[in-house]
Structure 1
Amino acid sequence: MNAIDYSTFADAWESRASIRTRPRRLLEDDDRLIYPLSRQPLVSSESFLTLCPEQRDFVLLQSLYKFINDVVIFETDIVDRTARSIAKGRFPIHFPFACRYAAMTVVVDEDYHALVAMDFMQQTVAMTGIEPLELPEEIELSRAIPAAIDMAPEHLRAAMELICVAISENTVTNDVAAFAKDETVKPSIKGLMADHLLDEGRHAGFWTRLVRLYWQTASEEDRDLIAQILPVFIVHYLTNDIQKSFDFRVIEHLPVAEEIRQALRREAMGLAYPINRHHPLVINIMRFLRNSSLLDSPCVQDALSDYLI
């Protein structure tokens, strides 16, 4: 990024950032869904539809609470940490001022997203009178990024952190886009996601450019080492363990007979996508790796050959 890029990015942030341009979203008391059915397959499973369809709204409500909690963890514990380090010039990989300015806009945006998410959770509790169950204290990335960094030699740990955060930011952008287009959910929730998407599109491009800048300067030896870690990161990132534990917790709180809970637990065990080239998030990850130029490198192609279509 150069001075021209800085001016363009600054103008784009001033005119488009949701913190600058979007109103507070207020939850509607209507008949639309509070969370998309497509994002909680448990409520569409055969056992659920047969044995306790009347519990759908409770499960969707708790799923919304978890989603909001995940957003807060992702934005403040993961993205904010790396972006703030870059913005303040403390990141081990040096970037020019234009990049640091752009990173600070990411910090502001992400903390604002967390604030909005917390506000929306409290609105939902007030309207429904139902508190969230105990929510996870981490998300998959809370484990996946440290696992990848720990595998890297000391001089590549910052690069591994940068690439992992960039992958996650690009992946969440496509995930939020699908959420924002769902016509079955309340307009305020769609609006919330559309506001988020407005910022995440800029963020995805920012992280992609930073990774491309780094990759252009990386040695072949360093590229080879990073390539070998990427499959490990992907497996940790796409695991279903935290979601499965949460689904079990929700099932435990349903006012149904124990035999129904057992049937639902069996359903929940089989809801995860296989971690292969057909996984929807793998498609997004591969798109980022192409756009950032990592997939131009033969070592990355070889390391991720199982995921390439």
Structure 2
Amino acid sequence: MNATDYRSFAEDWERRATIRTRPRRLLENDDRLIYPLCRQPLVLSATFLEHCPQWRDFVLVQSFYKFINDVVIFETEIVDKTARSIAKNHFSQPFPLACRVDAMTVVVDEDYHALVAMDFLQQTVEMTGIQPLDLPGQIELSHALPAAQALTPPHLHDAVELISVAIAENTITHDVAAFSKDDSVKPSIRGLMADHLLDEGRHAQFWTQLVRLYWQAASPEDRDQIAETLPIFLQHYLTNDLQKGFNLQLIEHLDVSADIRRALSDEVAALDFPITRHHPLLGNIMGFLHHSGVLHTPSVVLALRDYLPESGRSV
């Protein structure tokens, strides 16, 4: 695999990576929110607004803790592992040195993001006095990646990992961007998200380039086998089951009557985002698959036909 089609961002990292340019951000003790209302439908439900609005800040703070926990798992247990493996040339598919240097900058960035997230968690606990509940030990990607790998022979496990991480890095950029623009949220939190976004935009391009390099060199047989894993990956990755479970856990910690708790649980259980072509994250995912060249392969188009618009179901 040669690097003629690869553009390094090492110089951009030296000039603009947030770990090299940003002072520590401090959480403001003001009236703004620590977590956007629109990201936690529990506090917008009819039962919650009528019977227990006084628990809003508790729910939002716990939701912020979960968000931070998810970031730490994503950055340190998944992206860091993949990027470090590439940087140290331990990946089954060797990459040019320029790619490996860039991969190490991703490792540094992601560990720094996790550090900043943990710092904000600590600041929030100190300011609010609210201790985190038991937080999930896994995120959706923790289930989606092994489910996809299980469908392929061992020699393709690293390739499936690469594509899965690339999909996640391209979708988290969209997620962080929306968070950073919400004016109802404390400025330091929005600043944290904006800092994160600067790095993640660069990371998304990096992973897209690596997948393009891999896909160009992959055999038709390997491409077709990986194509079969993509619908399974998406079903696990785009589910909201973990978020539902967390919200149900939150409800159990509210000081409300059994009837109110039951009504809140019913409303949470009814919230669903069907994994169809209309899912809000699929546009970003299909954009990545297109830009990386993966979606130019007939077997991929066939495998993902249920998620593509009518105009995109042919190669």
* TM-based fold match above 0.5: yes
Q: Distance in 1 between matches of 2:143 and 2:99?
A: 27
Provide the identity percentage.
68
Q: Distance in 1 between matches of 2:295 and 2:110?
A: 28
Q: What residue in structure 1 maps to residue 110 of structure 2?
A: 110
Q: Cα distance, 1:208 vs. partner?
A: 0.2
CA contact (8 A) 2:152 2:225 kept: yes
Q: What residue in structure 1 maps to residue 213 of structure 2?
A: 213
Local SS of the residue matching 2:239: coil
**Structure 1 residues 64-79: aligned runs within 5 Å:** 64-79=64-79
Q: What residue in structure 2 maps to residue 18 of structure 1?
A: 18
Local SS of the residue matching 2:225: helix
Where does structure 1 lack aligned partners over 5 or more consecutive residues? none
Q: Cα distance, 1:122 vs. partner?
A: 0.2
State yes or no: 1:286 paired with 2:281: no
Structure 1 segments, 4+ long, off by >3 Å, are 1-6
State yes or no: 1:55 paired with 2:55: yes
**Structure 1 residues 114-133: aligned runs within 5 Å:** 114-133=114-133
Local SS of the residue matching 1:235: helix
Q: CA RMSD in A?
A: 1.3
Q: What residue in structure 1 maps to residue 266 of structure 2?
A: 266
Q: Cα distance, 1:270 vs. partner?
A: 1.6
Q: Distance in 1 between matches of 2:224 and 2:25?
A: 46
Q: Cα distance, 1:51 vs. partner?
A: 1.9
**Structure 1 residues 240-251: aligned runs within 5 Å:** 240-251=240-251
The aligned length equals 308
State yes or no: 1:95 paired with 2:81: no
Q: What residue in structure 2 maps to residue 302 of structure 1?
A: 302
State yes or no: 1:166 paired with 2:166: yes
Q: Distance in 2 between matches of 1:112 and 1:153?
A: 34
CA contact (8 A) 2:62 2:133 kept: yes
CA contact (8 A) 1:3 1:98 kept: no
CA contact (8 A) 2:215 2:293 kept: yes
Where does structure 2 lack aligned partners over 5 or more consecutive residues? 310-315
CA contact (8 A) 2:252 2:261 kept: yes
**Structure 1 residues 35-54: aligned runs within 5 Å:** 35-54=35-54
Q: Deviations over 1:218-247 (max 9, x none)?
A: 121111111111000000111122111111
Counterpart of 1:217, as a letter, is A
Local SS of the residue matching 1:280: coil
Q: Cα distance, 1:5 vs. partner?
A: 6.0
Q: Deviations over 1:129-164 (max 9, x none)?
A: 110111001111111101111111122111111100
Q: Cα distance, 1:272 vs. partner?
A: 2.4
Q: Distance in 2 between matches of 1:5 and 1:245?
A: 42
Q: Which is further off, 45-54 or 186-195?
A: 45-54
- TM-score, with structure 2 as normaliser: 0.95
Q: Distance in 1 between matches of 2:248 and 2:259?
A: 14
Q: Cα distance, 1:4 vs. partner?
A: 10
Q: Deviations over 1:187-241 (max 9, x none)?
A: 0000000000010000000000000001111121111111111000000111122
Q: What residue in structure 1 maps to residue 223 of structure 2?
A: 223
Q: Distance in 2 between matches of 1:178 and 1:161?
A: 26
- TM-score, with structure 1 as normaliser: 0.97
Q: Distance in 2 between matches of 1:46 and 1:288?
A: 37
Local SS of the residue matching 2:281: helix
